[in-house]
Structure 1
Amino acid sequence: MSHDFEPLQNDLILRTAWGQDVERAPIWIMRQAGRYLPEYHEAKGTRDFFECCRDPEVASTLTLQPIERFAGLLDASIIFSDILVIPQAMGMVVEMVDKKGPHFPNPLKSPDDGQYSKVLGQDVDVATELGYVYDAVTLTRKKLKGRVPLIGFCGAPWTLFCYMVEGGGTKLFIESKKWIYLYPEEAKALLQKIAEVCVEHLALQVKAGAQMVQVFDSWAGELSPSTFKKFSEPYLAYIAKHLPARLKELGLEVVPMIVFPKGANYALDSVCNLGYDVVSLDWLIDPAEAVKIRGNRKIVLQGNADPGVLYGSKASISETVQEMVQGFGGGKQGWIANLGHGITPFVKPDDLKFYLEEVQRLSSK
């Protein structure tokens, strides 16, 4: 695919991410393309989730749905894909089980498991294995016609590691904890391997047309402050350090990088030093407290309304937005508005629309 993209008409989120003063806070929503939208179910049809990810036409259609529905209210789109494409590229089978979520039929049980050696030892051809993601990025960027920037993403090494050893979502993280406390060195070797694949995956998304990237560490909060420093932070830092270098190698411009260590607010101070431009926050930290921890560092904060507020009244939504605008310093610098995690199912699209309108209205005062 050729890359003759139309010029960007709305670069608000990029200017904010680079630390510039802006006219209002930019806003996008994690999982903004998805099952709360009736048009999502229509376009998805009978395909399973990963089939949608693997079909660039479908993935691009789903990515654009919120941009079209909420025209003028969203300042970024995020490619419709999944964090678990990386374990798939590394040779693991991942299925999406209806009403249960992702399932790995053969998770990594221990370092003696032959599959561990195979996953660790293989040379992953990321460009070939995940070519469908890059095709979707390029196609989506063309269809956007410069309306808003396109965000690419990956899962963080620790979060992907959890899925690969647990075999799916879990509440107890028994297998993950066994690995870090019984086989710490082997766990670190696998985390490093995942980090290297993450760098290449993000770089190739940028090459395909992504203008910003986010690293989702959804299970960061399962680690203690001490184990976060050993099993998450070094690999997040690796991505932040090596992605810009890889982009330069490919002859590409460096793009803003966002990190989202969900549940690890205890580590916010050190996360601000990892080399990312933007740190995304969950809803369990007060905006003013986060701003205080950031101090005078040139880090932009992203977040952080409780996604559950979208089930509430308009008055609750307005109050939440007002608290964020005040807590994050008014919206003219250093803040990208978002939720504190992905939008949840059964939210009414009109309630999200009101939230987006309130962010625009209150942060542009």
Structure 2
Amino acid sequence: MSAPLKNDRLLRALRREPVDTTPVWVMRQAGRYLPEYRATRAKAGSFMALAQNPELACEVTLQPLERYELDAAILFSDILTIPDAMGLGLSFAQGEGPQFAHPVRTRADVERLGVPDMESELRYVMDAMRVVRRELAGRVPLIGFSGSPWTLACYMVEGQGSRDFATAKAMCWSDPALAHTLLETLARSVAAYLSAQAAAGAQALMIFDTWGGLLAPSAFREFSLRYLAHVVTALKSDMRARDIPLILFSKGASAHLYEMAQTGCAALGVDWTIDLADARNAVKGKVALQGNLDPAVLRASPEVIRREVRRVLDSYGNHPGHVFNLGHGITPEVDPEHVKVLIDEVHAYSRVLRAA
């Protein structure tokens, strides 16, 4: 874990320092679009068996770096590891996404929950982090991550994936005190989880608030943003994590970028529903920005991919503090060669921008 970084573009960009070319990584860069990932998952037998095996998790974490000139690795895991460690019985049904055997619906359900022990219930995550750091040998930084308190609560209350998470939202209206009790426990858990990842070797951290955009503005501030801020504050006071840059990504919440920038995070992920120029103006130079190509562009021709990459880079302009990424995760049907086109164009065109 002490090997010096050979490529620190990501960390420099997150600190809004100059870089020779815009760093790029891709959400879900280790995943079903890669044939080698599908082969390793088949060997593991299931998604959870893969995620809970540190050596195999390392293998799939490194697979995209063998194909592409990426500027970061992100640990292969899942955002629902915390509720699984709380005993909710996580499983993944074929073609149906995550399901919990024991949803959280009542006060008794919530009161049974506690912050998991990170080196017992979630040791497999920390072991995987340590293995990946060793195998990377300083090649690129390693990103650790968690789901946000609100997003975790959505799945825990609903018991499965959903388009609108109406059951979780209903709890906020019918029993807001119960919702806050759940979210407070989750905020403490997320902070402890990310701190443990930092201690195990993460060099950057990210929180995925995937379902923040489902909330109306006042509800977003009360049930999502409030707990994102709690996590940031906790990490800032934790000697293991306070110097690790933290990225907040709340999908569909572009209207709240200025407020999120006030939390003390290093960077904000941005989805494709806002131009980066507008996002940069919104945060007033307070944080770096990550994003924001529409993942569907990767299903277009190489010519279109290159054009849209240039459009995103032009929108941000020749300013420090940009990490190129998709506006959400890569989808399984994408041609792996199209990802190479994207990464190569980011590096090539951003060099041109810096030379202008």
State the distance in 2 between where 1:149 and 1:172 align.
35
Alignment of 1:81-160 (within 5 A): 81-111=77-107, 114-119=108-113, 122=114, 124-160=116-152
Counterpart in the other structure of 1:67: 65
Name the TM-score, length of structure 2 as normaliser: 0.96
Counterpart in the other structure of 2:38: 41
- Contact 1:288–1:328 (CA under 8 A) maintained in structure 2: yes
Shift of 1:142: 0.6
Counterpart in the other structure of 2:188: 196
- Give the counterpart letter for 1:79 in structure 2: L
State the distance in 2 between where 1:204 and 1:110 align.
29
Shift of 1:163: 0.2
State the distance in 1 between where 2:157 and 2:99 align.
11
- Give the counterpart letter for 1:314 in structure 2: P
- Give the counterpart letter for 2:81 in structure 1: V
- Determine helix, strand or coil for the equivalent of 2:58: helix
Alignment of 1:210-359 (within 5 A): 210-246=202-238, 248=239, 250=240, 254-295=243-284, 297-330=285-318, 332-359=319-346
- Give the counterpart letter for 2:316 in structure 1: F
State the distance in 2 between where 1:177 and 1:363 align.
42
State the distance in 2 between where 1:283 and 1:110 align.
37
State the distance in 1 between where 2:8 and 2:274 align.
28
State the distance in 2 between where 1:124 and 1:146 align.
30
- Contact 1:126–1:197 (CA under 8 A) maintained in structure 2: no
- Give the counterpart letter for 1:115 in structure 2: D
- Determine helix, strand or coil for the equivalent of 1:213: strand
Shift of 1:123: 5.1
**Residue number among 11, 15, 20 corresponding to 2:17 in the alignment:** 20
- Give the counterpart letter for 2:341 in structure 1: F
- Contact 1:36–1:344 (CA under 8 A) maintained in structure 2: yes
State the distance in 2 between where 1:277 and 1:172 align.
29
- Contact 1:212–1:255 (CA under 8 A) maintained in structure 2: yes
- Determine helix, strand or coil for the equivalent of 1:102: strand
Name the TM-score, length of structure 1 as normaliser: 0.94
- Give the counterpart letter for 2:127 in structure 1: D
Alignment of 1:42-57 (within 5 A): 42-46=39-43, 47-57=45-55
- The alignment of Structure 1 onto Structure 2 pairs a total of residues equal to 351
State the distance in 1 between where 2:174 and 2:58 align.
43
- Cα gap change, 1:271 to 1:253, in 2 (>3 Å): closer
| CA-to-aligned-CA distance 1:123-144 (integer Å, 9 cap, x gap) | 5322211000000000001111
Shift of 1:337: 0.2
- Determine helix, strand or coil for the equivalent of 1:128: coil
* Structure 2 residue 26 is matched with structure 1 residue 29: yes
- Determine helix, strand or coil for the equivalent of 1:107: coil
- Give the counterpart letter for 1:321 in structure 2: V
| CA-to-aligned-CA distance 1:85-144 (integer Å, 9 cap, x gap) | 010122211111111110012211232xx322211xx35322211000000000001111
Q: Percent identity at matched positions?
A: 42
- Contact 2:58–2:132 (CA under 8 A) maintained in structure 1: yes
State the distance in 1 between where 2:116 and 2:344 align.
44
Shift of 1:298: 2.8
State the distance in 1 between where 2:67 and 2:194 align.
27
Runs of at least 5 residues in structure 1 that lack an aligned partner in the other structure: none
State the distance in 2 between where 1:286 and 1:14 align.
23
- Determine helix, strand or coil for the equivalent of 1:346: coil
- Contact 2:82–2:116 (CA under 8 A) maintained in structure 1: no
- Give the counterpart letter for 1:358 in structure 2: E
State the distance in 2 between where 1:194 and 1:134 align.
19
- Contact 2:85–2:116 (CA under 8 A) maintained in structure 1: yes
State the distance in 2 between where 1:299 and 1:162 align.
27
Q: Which ranges of 4 or more aligned residues in structure 1 deviate by more than 4 Å?
A: none
State the distance in 2 between where 1:101 and 1:298 align.
37
Shift of 1:253: 6.1
Counterpart in the other structure of 2:161: 169
**Residue number among 156, 170, 173 corresponding to 1:178 in the alignment:** 170
- Determine helix, strand or coil for the equivalent of 1:127: coil
- Determine helix, strand or coil for the equivalent of 1:65: helix
